[in-house]
Structure 1
Amino acid sequence: MEKDEVLGRVVLSTAGRDEGKYYIVIDMISDNYVLLVDGRLRTENKPKKKKLRHLRFTDIIAEEIKRDILSGKELTNSTIRRYLQLNDINKEV
């Protein structure tokens, strides 16, 4: 997968202690690993590193967050939390 394809995408963790939890991808650090945030436990300054094979990618892209990442604007945890709550990700997937 290309970096541009995964940035801002909502993903579901399929393995580990966080199984069943939704995150937003903020960076792709190699072909196998991405950095994830949820705005609560995993904040923008303390993202979770996770293997791609332990994630299920959804069709949902947080366009506002992706734009901020690509333009270099600072992300806020409240923006991330608000996106995951307002869009009620659990119902869409």
Structure 2
Amino acid sequence: MDSTSDITIGQVVKSRAGRDKGNIFLVLDIIDDEYVYIVDGDIRKLDNPKKKKVKHLIIYNTIMPELKEKVKNRTKINNAYIRKLLEPFNMKL
């Protein structure tokens, strides 16, 4: 099965490996079947997204459609916006 079919821009993911293990991120871009760029607006800002292997991510069913739209339309987004989207998820930790 193609791993990119179950991950999309704006999807909420959690790191399961590496230095950022346990952190919640949003998928900013999909590089290929194996890698995606993720951001959290805090440690990983929009100007320096983290390249991460999909297999090192726990993929949640939650997708932020407004982020997907903004990325698609190349609308300017900032780190505060990313943090605001992730706020409810970080409270659960």
Normalised to the residue count of structure 1, the TM-score between the two structures is 0.88
Alignment match, 1:16: 18
Q: Any runs of at least 4 consecutive aligned residues in structure 1 with deviations exceeding 4 A, and if so which?
A: none
Aligned-residue offset at 1:10: 0.4
Aligned length: 89
The answer as to 2:78 corresponding to 1:76 is yes
Identity %: 39
Alignment match, 1:32: 34
The answer as to 2:51 corresponding to 1:55 is no
Aligned-residue offset at 1:64: 1.2
Distance 1:35 1:75 in 2: 15
Residue ranges of structure 2 left out of the alignment (5+ in a row): none
Q: Deviations along 1:12-44, whole A, 9 cap, x unmatched?
A: 000011110000001011110000000011111
- One-letter amino acid of the structure 1 residue matched with residue 55 of structure 2: R
- One-letter amino acid of the structure 2 residue matched with residue 14 of structure 1: R
Aligned-residue offset at 1:68: 0.2
For the aligned residues, what is the CA RMSD? 1.6
Normalised to the residue count of structure 2, the TM-score between the two structures is 0.88
Aligned-residue offset at 1:2: 3.7
